[in-house]
Structure 1
Amino acid sequence: MSAQPKVPVRRKRLWRTGAAFAVLIGLAAYLLVQYVTGGPGAPRCTVRAEGDAKGYELSPEQAANAATISAVASSRGLPERARTIALATAMQESGLRNIDFGDRDSVGLFQQRPSQDWGTVKQIMDPVYAAGEFYTHLAKVPGYSRLPLTVAAQKVQRSGYPQAYAKHEVNAARLTGALTGRDGAAMTCTQSRPVNGQAGDVAAVRAKLARDFGPEVLPRTDGAGGRGASGGRGVTVPVRQAGVGTDGGGPKRGWELAMWAMAHSAELRIEQISYAGRTWIAADAGKGWQKKPAGSEESAGRSASDVRIITAQ
């Protein structure tokens, strides 16, 4: 009889152990969410087109990866639907993060597998390469632009959960509208790190532009500070170039380039972006895209129809 009181004690211990384990699971889940999203109060990029009350938020890292995915499609002359499919796929596969782990040997934005002939790990971990491989496979799908997004994505990915792509379609479409320039100044970002004291590199901006959009994005120069050449802390990206861009070099192309710079602003230490009489300043990012005084571009000897990117000192 003396052993009977031990039963409820054991039950209490089991209950406490179970409760502690549940708390740990909850904490781990919370920390994972904060790691993926950047945490509360962290710098964010917000996509909100006119009339879009809800909008979409993502971290600077996610925005930069999304911008590269979109730019690679632009370099190949692919339609908006291709970008939406690619962005929704990367949202599902990696959360738009260039991760070096996954199911079996899957890595990268699209969780491509070296063992399935997607390339080497080093290649797949390059967002430009990974996006290019996705589009190469997507282009082989007959009529992909007319297929439901889940069907088109699945024909490329061969996922065990093909319907999972559908839940990202709305936000992928929002990103597509911003990153193609269709929705103008639809995205604004805050810096992920303080700019002051951390100099940017114009050469790095130019190299990244050429890698993402292709070398035609910048004209050849003699290095003497011509259009598109580095001039001090800035680079001027011509918008109107024959055969370049999704709309032949009009306003849509200009906003496409400006949104790319916005998405990469933290990574490339970009301090200011100007286009079409609007400007974004990192130190005053909370105000978004502000109207510039009339004639300010002309007074600086530059056209308001070009995109001007200025890096931090």
Structure 2
Amino acid sequence: MSGSVYIGISGWRYLPWRGVFYPKGLAQHRELAYAASQLPSIEINGSFYSLQRPESYAAWHAATPPGFVFALKGNRFLTHMLKLKDIEGPLANVLASGVFELREKLGPFLWQFPPVVKFDPQRFEHFLSLLPQDTDSARELALQYQPRMEGRVSLEAGPKRPMRHAVEIRNESFLDPAFIAMLRRYNVALVVADTAGRWPLCEDVTADFVYIRLHGDKELYASGYEDAAIAAWAARIHAWRKERDVYCYFDNDIKVHAPYDAQRLIAAVDALAAQAD
């Protein structure tokens, strides 16, 4: 039985998209609803820069149709500033900040690490061991939120559901069989990241799902994907989906390529699926 495929964009609030991807005159508060009418999944990246509020997550849930899925970018305070040191409280804050308001639309968490962070086996194993594998354990951890979060938390996790996590690395020290084995032990996906050659492109399958980020084929965050590149990624996704769910997000947003490339990739993957039937 084949897995599900979710292809979308990283973020949705971009000024250059207005009047291009978004219809002229569309109110800003309607942009998510419009994007969700065109694509089945979006990666929330505001959560990377700062903790969002429960009412925001609830509004995003309400603005999107049934079956829609959000991926959620983990807060950079853990990955870039603390560099995984003393993260128990901050991780609890992330989980308490309102993510449960996404309910059944909550997809994988993305944890992105900067190029300066190298593979530290002890620190990474501790981090992976903390990541909750279901919403019940996530709620238990969320209850340990720090006092500064008081008054802006949401702790009702709803029915028990699985939770998934993916790690995006940008340092060659992670090209280590020990790291791959560690990810597999914890069922955490290693992000397949196309970064126009700037950082490592790894295709090791380490979890029961695959997570792809397409930052630009030739120019980071800017260049679009030509037909041959779209066909190549569609073939990869078609192969991976035979046994796993696949999540794929375009982050080449500067020149408004991302939403259109996502639509083209969806069409290419659908065409391969139709041929296989």
**Highest relative contact order (Cα 8 Å, sep 6+), 1 or 2?**
2
TM-score, with structure 2 as normaliser:
0.31
Q: Looking at CA atoms only, which structure, 1 or 2, has the larger radius of gyration?
A: 1
TM-score, with structure 1 as normaliser:
0.28
Q: Which structure: greater helix fraction?
A: 1
